[in-house]
Amino acid sequence: MVFESLSGVVLALLLATALYSFGSILRRMFLHPLSGYPGPWLGKFTDIPGMAPVIQRRRTQSNHELLRRYGSCVRLGTNHLLFCARESIVDIYGQSSSPCLKDGALYGGLSVSGAVNLLNAVDREQHARLRRLASHSFSMQSLLKSEALIQEKVDEYVSVFKDGNSRVNILERTYMLMLDIVSQFSFGESLDCLNGRNAQAPADVKAFFTVIPPLSFAPFLRYLPIKSIQEGRKGVFRLDSFSRDCVASYLSRQEKHRGDVAKSKLFLERMANAVDAETGTSMTQVELVENATIFLVAGVGTTAATILYLIWECGQQHDVRRKLIEEMRREFPDPSIAPTYEKASKLKFLSYVVDETLRLRGPLNGGAPRISPGKTIAGRWVPKGVKVETNIYTTARDPEVFPSPDQFEPSRWETATPEMRQMSRPFSYGPRNCIGRHLAEVIILLTISRLYQLYDVIPDASLTPDKMQQLDLGVLEPGCDEFFVEVVPQSNLLSC
Ligand code: HEM
């Protein structure tokens, strides 16, 4: 008797659950404000179409395929819209009195110490204050005062090709170059990876992306014996300690030698001395540590991947590489004098090559999710709370703006139209665009011009297009484990 009534209750509960689930599926499919938007069938009542490719590390490419299939606006999940229009770039990322703010669920956890930083700040005022305090450090004028530091590191990077080293793996080395430069700027002290002092640092920065996003979604993971999580946590901890030590040692030096330090040009020093005119505040020690570290996280993988893809793409096309080398040799004929930014930034073909690399291989060309405040985006009303993003990977491959969009053709930038610039936005757009853009540009130009001034660089035959596919690990990076190049010194080049 008891069993009979119990099974009746269980049955009733199961039935109620099934009816409720069925009802909410029908509601999401037919009554939800996004029900009229095209998209994959599963996305009408689940978030699976958006989640599965994240695990496969091809989120950006999968979103691109969906946009190609369903049109310029796709319902990716129950409450999530993907766009690929010029207008949606402006409407989602542009300056506005009703802005689409960053998605706190995604960005909130992107922190080393748990504090708010420039990249993860969601609140508009909080972000604006940090941006005002940091932006001075990133001005071109300020960066160029430290140009010699970058040239020195670039020379250390290319020094490996001397002494008859004609076949070299530059994968790790390129990340090390970025770490050495960005850490020097961020902490006033280089990690010195290239000379072997902190050889594990590239792995520590990579660990940030392996560990921090999953931990912010599922904090209990930190207690589980998962090797990648535990090793990654140690790496992030090392990074955090390095940053804390540098900031503490800088602040104590500042106390002793206030005058000397104030003259200095590096980020940490500038940020520590900056006073926000609007709030009258400066960065606290915790904010200094957090932001200096986040520059490593945001700046190293992105810039290194761009340099590696530039070398790869030029390696695939003899004519392109030859033109680039000719320009370098013409403008920088004396190998004992390293190229300067002033001169390199005026070289046309070099700039086309960089623009084309960033169009096709931009490391952050995947969409950056924002939350709609309730506004019209690309001509469609998007209710408050809906997650929205524009896939720059797709806008930068619009065949009407970029004929043969999948081809690496630097010369297309010879006649760049305003529309090309509006559709290829590797550094994003609006108040949350890349604050490190100038630094990235200086590093890329100085590295590439020095490299091709001295050598011809040819990717090894072992490096296939398949291995060079972009893996979406938050940053779009080459999927290869090694990147061997063959180098021919300038003096041995017969025809260039
Ligand atoms: C080729 C190299 C780079 C590319 C393509 C790139 C691209 C981008 C993009 C697309 C964003 C917007 C991200 C979003 O909205 O989620 C961004 C933001 C940011 N980037 Fe870069 N970046 C590069 C290098 C750097 C460097 C060298 C640094 C610093 C050393 C840096 C620091 C930052 C920071 C702090 C933000 C957040 C800015 C804010 O929200 O105010 N980036 N970057």
Q: Which amino acid, 199? A: A
**Ligand 1 centre from 299 Cα, in Å?**
7
DSSP symbols for 318-343: HHHHHHHHHHHHHH---TTS---HHH
Helix axes of 318-331 and 348-361: crossing angle, nearest 10 degrees: 140
Would you say 383 and 373 are in contact if contact means Cβ atoms under 8 Å apart? no
Residue 445's pLDDT is 98
Look at residue 83 and tell me whether its pLDDT is greater than 90.
yes
Mean pLDDT of 254-283: 75
Distance CA 7, CA 246 (A): 65
Closest ligand 1 atom number to CA of residue 127: 41
Given this model, what pLDDT does residue 495 score? Answer: 46
Burial readout 464-485 (b: 16 or more C-beta within 10 A, e: otherwise):
eeeebebbbbbbbbbebeebbb
Say whether 73 sits in a helix, a strand or coil. strand
Ligand 1 pocket member 117 (CB < 6 A): no
> In the predicted model, is pLDDT for residue 193 greater than 80?
yes
Q: What is the pLDDT of residue 261?
A: 44
pLDDT of residue 16: 79
Report which of residues 184 and 343 the model is more confident about.
343
Q: What is the pLDDT of residues 195-207, one digit of tens each?
A: 988 888 888 887 7
**CA–CA gap between residue 466 and residue 56 (Å, rounded):** 15
**Closest ligand 1 atom, residue 443 Cα:** 27
The atom of ligand 1 lying closest to the CA of 267 is 30
Residue 332, amino acid: F
- In the predicted structure, residue 483 carries a pLDDT above the cut 60: yes
3-state helix, strand, coil in the chain (%, to 5): 60, 10, 35
Q: Answer yes or no: is the C-beta of 426 below 6 A from any ligand 1 atom.
A: yes
Angstrom distance (rounded) from CA 244 to CA 293: 9
| Pocket lining: 363 vs ligand 1, CB cutoff 6 Å | yes
Average pLDDT, the chain: 90
* Measured distance CA(338)–CA(107) in Å, rounded: 40
Q: Which helix (H) or strand (E) holds 371?
A: strand 370-371
Specify the residue for token string 């993971």: 221
Identify whether the C-beta of residue 434 lies closer than 8 Å to the C-beta of residue 427. Answer: yes
99 lines ligand 1 (CB under 6 A): no
For residues 291 and 428, the answer to whether their CB atoms sit within 8 Å is: no
Q: With b meaning 16 or more CB within 10 Å and e meaning fewer, what string describes 78-115?
A: bbbbbbbbbbbbbbbbeeeeebbbbbeebbebbbbbeb
Q: Do residues 150 and 183 lie in contact, with contact meaning Cβ atoms separated by under 8 Å?
A: no
The two tokens of residue 153 are 């590191």
Q: Look at residue 496 and tell me whether its pLDDT is greater than 50.
A: no
Q: Are 456 and 496 in contact (CB under 8 A)?
A: yes
The three-point CA angle 269-275-281 to 5° equals 120
Weakest mean pLDDT among 57-61, 245-249, 329-333, 481-485? 245-249
Query: Which backbone phi and psi does 33 adopt, to 5 degrees?
Result: -55, -20
Domains of the chain, first to last: 84-492 (1.10.630.10)
Q: How far is the CA of 437 from the centre of ligand 1 (A)?
A: 7
**Is 373's pLDDT higher than 90?**
yes
CA dihedral 207, 138, 130, 246 (to 10 degrees): 50
407-419 average pLDDT score: 98
Give the range with max mean pLDDT: 39-48, 93-102, 465-474. Answer: 93-102
148 alpha carbon – ligand 1 mean position (Å):
23
Q: Which residue has the tokens 């940030």?
A: 208
Give per-residue pLDDT as tens, 29-60. 776 889 889 999 888 888 888 888 888 889 99
Q: Which residue has better confidence, 414 or 51? A: 414
pLDDT at 391 over 70: yes
474 Ramachandran zone, left/alpha/beta (phi>0; psi -120 to 50): left
Q: Which of 396, 390, 363 is nearest to 475 (CA)?
A: 363
Helices and strands in the chain, H and E counts = 20, 12
pLDDT of residue 192 exceeding 70: yes
- Report the alpha-carbon distance of residue 348 to residue 330 in Å, rounded: 13
Q: Are 129 and 279 in contact, with CB atoms under 8 Å apart?
A: yes
pLDDT band at 492 (very low <50, low <70, confident <90, very high): low
Question: Is residue 362 in contact with ligand 1, taking CB distance under 6 Å?
Answer: yes
Identify the pLDDT of residue 205. Answer: 81
3-state secondary structure of 85: coil
Supply the residue whose CA is at minimum distance from atom 26 of ligand 1: 299
323-353 per-position pLDDT tens digit = 999 999 999 999 999 999 999 999 999 999 9
Amino acid residing at 135: S
Whether the pLDDT of residue 189 is over 90: the answer is no
Mean pLDDT of all residues in 432-443: 97
Pocket test for ligand 1, best of 138, 174, 434, 442 (most atoms within 8 A of CB): 434
- Taking phi first (over 0 means left), then psi (-120 to 50 degrees means alpha), and beta for anything else, what does residue 114 get? left
